[in-house]
Amino acid sequence: MPPSPSPPPSSSPSAPTPATVRDLTPADAPALTALYEEYEWWDDRDETAVRDALTETAVAVGVEADGRLVAAARVLTDFTYYATVYDV
Protein backbone atom coordinates (compact mmCIF):
# COMPACT_ATOMS: atom_id res chain seq x y z
CA MET A 1 0.00 0.00 0.00
CA PRO A 2 1.46 3.39 -0.94
CA PRO A 3 2.05 5.92 1.84
CA SER A 4 -0.66 8.51 2.48
CA PRO A 5 0.11 11.92 1.07
CA SER A 6 1.19 14.51 3.58
CA PRO A 7 -1.21 17.34 4.24
CA PRO A 8 -0.20 20.64 2.67
CA PRO A 9 1.87 22.89 4.91
CA SER A 10 -0.17 25.10 7.14
CA SER A 11 -0.26 28.63 5.91
CA SER A 12 -2.11 30.46 8.61
CA PRO A 13 -2.22 34.11 7.60
CA SER A 14 -2.04 36.50 10.46
CA ALA A 15 -5.48 37.46 11.64
CA PRO A 16 -6.49 41.08 11.03
CA THR A 17 -6.39 43.36 14.00
CA PRO A 18 -9.91 43.72 15.39
CA ALA A 19 -11.54 47.08 14.91
CA THR A 20 -11.96 49.23 17.98
CA VAL A 21 -14.49 51.95 18.74
CA ARG A 22 -13.38 54.97 20.72
CA ASP A 23 -14.33 58.55 21.47
CA LEU A 24 -12.96 61.15 19.09
CA THR A 25 -11.35 64.34 20.37
CA PRO A 26 -10.25 67.54 18.65
CA ALA A 27 -6.79 65.94 18.35
CA ASP A 28 -8.35 63.49 15.86
CA ALA A 29 -9.12 66.29 13.39
CA PRO A 30 -6.25 65.39 11.00
CA ALA A 31 -7.31 61.74 10.78
CA LEU A 32 -10.99 62.62 10.41
CA THR A 33 -10.25 65.22 7.73
CA ALA A 34 -8.15 62.64 5.87
CA LEU A 35 -11.02 60.14 6.11
CA TYR A 36 -13.42 62.69 4.64
CA GLU A 37 -10.97 63.41 1.81
CA GLU A 38 -10.30 59.74 1.12
CA TYR A 39 -13.94 59.14 0.32
CA GLU A 40 -14.50 62.59 -1.23
CA TRP A 41 -16.97 63.49 1.50
CA TRP A 42 -17.40 67.10 2.39
CA ASP A 43 -14.46 68.34 0.38
CA ASP A 44 -15.22 71.83 1.67
CA ARG A 45 -14.15 70.89 5.21
CA ASP A 46 -10.69 71.71 6.39
CA GLU A 47 -8.81 70.50 9.44
CA THR A 48 -9.50 73.64 11.48
CA ALA A 49 -13.26 73.42 10.91
CA VAL A 50 -13.26 69.69 11.69
CA ARG A 51 -11.35 70.37 14.92
CA ASP A 52 -13.90 73.06 15.85
CA ALA A 53 -16.78 70.67 15.14
CA LEU A 54 -15.21 67.97 17.34
CA THR A 55 -14.61 70.54 20.09
CA GLU A 56 -18.30 71.46 20.12
CA THR A 57 -19.64 67.90 19.80
CA ALA A 58 -20.27 66.09 23.07
CA VAL A 59 -20.52 62.64 21.47
CA ALA A 60 -18.21 61.70 18.61
CA VAL A 61 -17.00 58.17 17.96
CA GLY A 62 -14.52 56.65 15.60
CA VAL A 63 -13.68 53.14 14.48
CA GLU A 64 -10.02 52.23 14.07
CA ALA A 65 -8.61 49.22 12.27
CA ASP A 66 -4.90 48.54 12.01
CA GLY A 67 -4.17 51.89 13.66
CA ARG A 68 -6.18 53.88 11.10
CA LEU A 69 -9.45 55.75 11.46
CA VAL A 70 -11.87 53.97 9.10
CA ALA A 71 -15.27 55.27 10.22
CA ALA A 72 -16.72 58.03 12.37
CA ALA A 73 -19.96 59.61 13.51
CA ARG A 74 -20.99 62.64 15.54
CA VAL A 75 -24.11 62.78 17.68
CA LEU A 76 -25.91 65.99 18.58
CA THR A 77 -28.19 65.43 21.55
CA ASP A 78 -30.06 67.06 24.39
CA PHE A 79 -29.08 64.03 26.56
CA THR A 80 -32.73 63.54 27.52
CA TYR A 81 -35.00 62.82 24.55
CA TYR A 82 -33.35 63.52 21.25
CA ALA A 83 -30.20 62.59 19.38
CA THR A 84 -29.30 62.96 15.74
CA VAL A 85 -26.36 61.20 14.13
CA TYR A 86 -24.27 63.17 11.64
CA ASP A 87 -21.21 62.68 9.48
CA VAL A 88 -21.42 58.90 9.31
The number of distinct structural domains making up the chain is 1
Whether 71 is covered by a domain: the verdict is yes
Whether 58 is covered by a domain: the verdict is yes
Whether 7 is covered by a domain: the verdict is no
Contact 76, 56 (CB under 8 A): no
Q: How far apart are CA 32 and CA 2, in angstroms?
A: 62
Q: How far apart are CA 5 and CA 58, in angstroms?
A: 62
In CATH, what number is assigned to the domain containing residue 77?
3.40.630.30
Whether 38 is covered by a domain: the verdict is yes
Whether 10 is covered by a domain: the verdict is no
For the chain, 88 residues long, give each residue's pLDDT as a single digit of tens.
Answer: 555 555 555 455 666 678 999 999 999 999 999 988 887 767 778 899 999 999 999 899 999 998 899 999 999 999 999 999 988 8
Domain with 66 in it: 19-87
For residue 18, what pLDDT is reported?
84
Whether 51 is covered by a domain: the verdict is yes
Question: What is the length of the chain?
Answer: 88
For residue 7, what pLDDT is reported?
53
Taking 3-state DSSP, the helix, strand and coil percentages for the chain, each rounded to the nearest 5, stand at 25, 30, 45
Give the closest residue to 61 by CA, choosing from 71, 48, 53. 71
